[in-house]
Amino acid sequence: YGKIYYVIGKITKIMHDVLVNILLMIIYLLLFLNLCI
């Protein structure tokens, strides 16, 4: 029963990390584009 919560916790943590990485990449891309213009 606790294993299900463990798996869900792992999945949500991975998704959270991925979202943070995507946001950082978008921010860096916007900064890069602003510098180029």
Domain of 11 in residue numbering reads as 1-37
Q: Which is nearest to 37 in space by CA: 29, 7, 11?
A: 29
Exposed / middle / buried, residue 8 (Cβ in 10 Å: 0-12, 13-18, 19+): exposed
| Model pLDDT, residue 2 | 85
Joined together, the tokens standing for residue 17 give 């990390």
| Domain count along the chain | 1
Stated pTM of the model: 0.64
CA R_g for the chain: 16
Question: Rounded CA gap, 37 and 27, in Å?
Answer: 16
| Model pLDDT, residue 8 | 94
Which tens digits make up the pLDDT trace of 4-31?
A: 999 999 999 999 999 999 999 999 999 9
